[in-house]
Amino acid sequence: MQSTLVLEIFIGVAGLAIVLMLWLANYRSSDPIPQADVSATGYAIRRYWLWTTLIVAVAVFAFTVPQFPYQKAKADANARHYPVVAQQYSFSMPSTLPLNTPIVFDVTSKDVNHGFGIYGPNDKIFSQVQAMPDYVNHLAVTFTVPGHYTVRCLEYCGIAHAAMQGGFDVK
């Protein structure tokens, strides 16, 4: 998913909801009718409206399940594994990584929780996973765009959290 698209969806749907709600509140507001009249129509609409939103929610869930990142690391047995170790306040990881090759990052931490946030050459988030001590998180990716990738810590880890950065080149 592109996060700019998400932002557009958000602004679009939110805008629509705001306009609709304000319109319903102000529509012929100086010409009141009994509550029973509103309810009669309202309850009929609500039945569809409730079911529609629930069906949309379940459909979105079903649609997104195949895109969950959790199985991907196991899916490709031939993927190359690279260790990433986070520590207050730096990452130890390879400095160059191959293009168009399935890769699995084995991410962990030596001290507290950190976040392994990969930003692409366009400086947008490419992917991320948590770095938790005592656990290894396997993040599968394939880089299709060459260039310099920045890594930023995406979990609060202490005073220099905002300065905890690293990077690697993909070629």
Partner 1 sequence: MSQTNIADTSAGKRVMWTYMLTGLGIFFLMVLVGIAMRAAQAGWIGIDPGTFYSLLSLHGIGMITAMAIAGLGILWYFVSRYTPLNQGVAFLAYGFFLAGVASVIISVIPGHYGALWTALYPLPFTGTYWPNWATGAWLIGNSLVMIGFMIWCAQILGALLARFGGVRGILAIDYVFKNREFTQSGKEPPPPEMFAAAITAIDGFIGGTAGLLVVVALIVHWIDPSVAIDPLWAKNLIYQFGHTFANLTMYMAVAGVYVGLPMCTKRAYHTSIPLAIAWWGTLTFVIIAYFHHLYMDFAQLQFVQYVGEISSYLAAIPVVVVTVFGGVMLVHRSGMKWSVGSMFLFAGMIGWVVGGLGAVLDATIPINIELHNTLWVPAHFHTYLLEGVLLFIMGWAFVNLEQRAGSASSLLTRWLIGTGMFGGGALFLLPFYIAGADGVPRRYATEPTPGPYYAGVATVGAAILLLGFLLAIIEAVRLARSKNTSVAA
Instruction: Decide if residue 145 touches partner 1 (CB under 8 A).
Output: no
**Residue 93 near Cu ion by CB under 5 A:** no
How far is 86 from 99, CA to CA, in rounded Å?
A: 23
Least Å distance, CB 157 to Cu ion, is 3
Q: Is 55 one of the binding residues for partner 1 (CB under 8 A)?
A: no
Dihedral sign for Cα 39, 41, 43, 45, please.
negative
Beta-carbon-side half-sphere exposure of residue 37 (alpha carbons within 13 Å): 3
Q: Return the residue of 157, 166, 168, 170 that touches Cu ion, per CB under 5 A.
A: 157
Taking the C-alpha atoms of residue 63 and residue 81, their distance in angstroms, rounded to an integer, is 29
* Residue 96 beta carbon to partner 1: minimum distance, rounded to whole angstroms: 23
Build a one-symbol-per-residue string for 115-144: x at contacts with partner 1 by CB under 8 A, - elsewhere: x-x-x---xxx-xxxx-xxxxxxxx-----
Query: Which range, of 40-48, 76-84, 92-100, touches partner 1 by CB under 8 A?
Result: 40-48
Q: Are 91 and 109 in contact (CB under 8 A)?
A: no
- The one of partner 1, Cu ion, none whose footprint includes residue 18, by CB under 5 to 8 A per kind, is partner 1
* Parallel/antiparallel/unpaired status of strands 102-109 and 80-87: parallel
Question: Taking a C-beta distance cutoff of 8 angstroms, is the pair 133, 60 a contact?
Answer: no
65: left (phi > 0), else alpha (psi -120 to 50), else beta? Answer: alpha
- From CA 14, how far away is CA 169, in angstroms rounded? 39
Selection from Cu ion, partner 1, none that 101 binds (CB < 5 to 8 A by kind) is: none
Residue 123 CB, nearest approach to partner 1 (Å): 7
Would you give the binding string for partner 1 spanning residues 5-34, x where CB under 8 A is met?
A: -xx-xxx-xx--xx--xx-xx-xxxxxxx-
Residue 93 or 164: which CB sits closer to Cu ion? 164
Min dist. Cβ of residue 115 to Cu ion (A): 6
Which structure tokens are listed for 40? 């009669």
